[in-house]
Structure 1
Amino acid sequence: MKGLAALVLLQAAGLSQAALRFACSRVSIQRLDPLVEPGRIPSAHVHQIVGGNAFNATMAGDIGEQATCTTCAYTEDLSNYWTAVMYFRHANGSYKRVPQYANAQLGTEGKDAPNIQGGMTVYYTQKDFNTNGNKFIRAFPPGFRMTVGSPAASSADYAKGHPGLRYTCLQTILTRGSETADFPAKPCPAGIMAIHHFPACWDGKNVDSPDHQAHMYSTTRGGFAEAGECPTSHPVRVAQVAYETMWNTTAFAGMWPADGRQPFVWSFEGNGYGTHADYLFGWKGDSLQRAMNSTCMFHACGSPGVQGVLKTQTVDEMNRCAVKPTVVEETDGWLDALPGQAEPAMGHMPMRV
């Protein structure tokens, strides 16, 4: 009863109006997945991971108290964010990892993004890019985790039910819109942006569930439109977490198959419909709730030279944070097979539904 009363008072004190958009450079690229395959070394397929340096094969407890640095612009965000890795499949059957590049509009001052080592752009939005809305947004609790999408998905029917999982064929590095559910069917002048929008409705009780998804409910409408109303089964509105990952496919434009076949695959040998992402909350203390209760948007929430509600660091500091690889194997170069996919055990790869 006291907890409910405190929540009501907090809501009455001020509705959330913040929106965060920030860069995170890579902290590791390796075959580990502490959510779906905890303790398995190596995991089924290669992931690209950003965020805190507590990332390892088995993660539990308050990650915000375990990491000592982060590759994200906000120093209080020690969370981990990860997706599968994109590969180019050559006509001769070999594979090459597609490099990543940073969002041109980001950095810690909005001008030094080219120095960011790969990674992704992370969003915590409440409504859309025109207004922050007037609903109370609750921060995730310590230990919270979730996934979105499924490596087992392989059809357009699945994609229809997941409008937050999309791609943009980049005409320039600033292109937005014109989203597709599968990989673009032709070469893209500036690469491919993969987009992952997570559910924004929580059951308010469980920090995880057996499939890492049932404790959440998606009312995502696609793009950065405001998510729909939460159902009574999942009544707690949380921030709409989203990732944008820029994959620099331009080096492969001259290698596009003569038959026109789309040559890109995810690291589990899957097509674009199987895209998926993982989130492990690790904001330190009340920093995320403090941000969500503010009225700032994007760089105004904190950047060098701008005093905001959150503390930031330089790109050099972001890039210096890293995780020593647990799995030592070749994930780059021209490979005869995708790491892990030549092993018989891959037929038992866990499925997200």
Structure 2
Amino acid sequence: MKFIALTVGALVAPCLGLLRFPCAQLVIDRLDPLVSPGEVPSPHLHQIVGGTSFNATMHPSKDMPAESTCTTCQFSEDFSNYWTAVLYFKARNGTYKRVPQIQNVGFDGVEGGMTVYYMQDGLYNYNQTSKVTAFQPGFRMFIGDVNARSREQMERYRQVTYTCLQTDITRDPQILDFPSEPCPEGIMTALRFPTCWDGKNLDSPDHMEHMAYPESGTFETGGPCPDSHPVRMANSSGTVAGSRMLNLDLVTDMFLCTQFYEVVWDTRSFNNAEDWPEDGSQPFVWSFGDATGYGNHGDYVFGWQGDALQRALDHPCYINCETLKTQDAAAMNACGIGRTVKEDIDGWTETLPGGAVAGM
């Protein structure tokens, strides 16, 4: 497998513990153990990567590494699960077709899925020098608002963006809504999770309340955290005191790692203007019916084996990660699980899976 440095703002010096790695597709299914646990089928379709212990329930006490037989991620000690909604193309005749995913440039041979990042100091900070503590078992989080249909609603999640790829290395500009013109090399979505933590909870009822964005600034610039979430993804070298909280008596001045996803949607086969709406509007819609792009969202459930993630964050670990076990693209692609909900997700269909209606 071939790996390359970041294509925009390329890392020019060794960095401490910045992880950027591909995960192949695990399954595309109507399950959502975070937002609608136990509900089969879930309201809309998701694309999932990571360990094979993924299922409709995923109780916080679940031992994901022990219950997984393999993972679709490059680092074979990562049995976490990462997932997002699925993108569809709506043709001029009103029928829908699922948009496939392709891997980021440099991850040749990996089928579908997404790119996952873990870091200390922001993507464009070349000196990843902060001492960080890895997430703990039971940690979960969600980003986005499935019901958002306006820029005002979306701006709360200002780090969920789209890039219209002019080439496979395009990374800017990043916008909040769907691109309005055909994108020569596809559409990249980036989901940057909040960088401020409440300092105690591994989860919350909506999987968001324990996390927050800075009061100002962005993911990269490091604005101040709100008083309600004073820890800059930070100060958590503690151990798990319960299934959902960290032991505050053990809090130190170390940072908790930051995370985000990149997903490349292969829209190239849908760039024929004759297939787009006659009024010139863009034709893409999320699997839950959002045609604005503002409802994009992502889910994360921690599932690294033992201290593997901490080892990686403690050592220079980017292109070559000697502290972690790795697997090649063939092994990643071979890992997978069968779909629980049996429905047509690949052919042209009259409705979106689950019956969602595309709307603004």
User: TM > 0.5 between the two?
Assistant: yes
1:122 — aligned with what? Answer: 116
Alignment partner of 1:299 out of 300, 312, 319: 319
Secondary structure of residue in 2 paired with 1:87: strand
The more displaced of 28-37 and 247-256 is 247-256
1:284 — aligned with what? Answer: 305
2:340 — aligned with what? Answer: 326
Alignment partner of 2:269 out of 207, 231, 251: 251
1:233 — aligned with what? Answer: 228
RMSD over aligned Cα atoms? 1.7
1:217 — aligned with what? Answer: 212
1:184 — aligned with what? Answer: 179
* Equivalent residue letter for 1:87: Y
Secondary structure of residue in 1 paired with 2:97: strand
Alignment partner of 1:138 out of 114, 121, 133: 133
* 1:164-204 CA-partner distances (Å, limit 9, x unpaired): 10000000111111011000001111110011000122223
* 1:84-129 CA-partner distances (Å, limit 9, x unpaired): 00000111111000011111122xxxxxx1x211000001122234
Secondary structure of residue in 2 paired with 1:179: coil
Alignment partner of 2:154 out of 152, 159, 162: 159
- TM-score normalised by length of structure 1: 0.85
Secondary structure of residue in 2 paired with 1:157: helix
2:132–2:313 Cα contact (<8 Å) kept = yes
**Unpaired runs of 5+ in structure 2?**
1-14, 235-254
Task: Summarize the Cα distance change of 1:102–1:342 in structure 2 as closer, same or farther, 3 Å threshold.
Answer: closer
User: What's the offset of the Cα at 1:161?
Assistant: 2.7
User: What's the offset of the Cα at 1:226?
Assistant: 4.4
- In 1: Cα distance, 2:178 partner to 2:257 partner: 27
User: What is the identity percentage for the equivalent residue pairs of Structure 1 and Structure 2?
Assistant: 51
* 1:236-271 CA-partner distances (Å, limit 9, x unpaired): 342221111000111111122232011000000013
User: What's the offset of the Cα at 1:280?
Assistant: 0.5
Task: Summarize the Cα distance change of 1:221–1:320 in structure 2 as closer, same or farther, 3 Å threshold.
Answer: farther
User: What's the offset of the Cα at 1:137?
Assistant: 1.7
User: What's the offset of the Cα at 1:221?
Assistant: 4.6
**Unpaired runs of 5+ in structure 1?**
1-15, 107-112, 303-307, 344-353
1:48 aligns with 2:65: no
- In 2: Cα distance, 1:221 partner to 1:87 partner: 32
Alignment partner of 2:201 out of 195, 203, 206: 206
1:90 — aligned with what? Answer: 91
- In 2: Cα distance, 1:93 partner to 1:147 partner: 31
Task: Summarize the Cα distance change of 1:183–1:332 in structure 2 as closer, same or farther, 3 Å threshold.
Answer: same
**Alignment coverage as a number of residue pairs:** 313
* Equivalent residue letter for 1:120: M
1:150 — aligned with what? Answer: 145
- In 2: Cα distance, 1:178 partner to 1:59 partner: 37
1:25 — aligned with what? Answer: 24
User: What's the offset of the Cα at 1:135?
Assistant: 2.7
- In 2: Cα distance, 1:233 partner to 1:288 partner: 27
Task: Summarize the Cα distance change of 1:221–1:44 in structure 2 as closer, same or farther, 3 Å threshold.
Answer: farther
Secondary structure of residue in 2 paired with 1:151: coil
The more displaced of 155-164 and 333-342 is 155-164
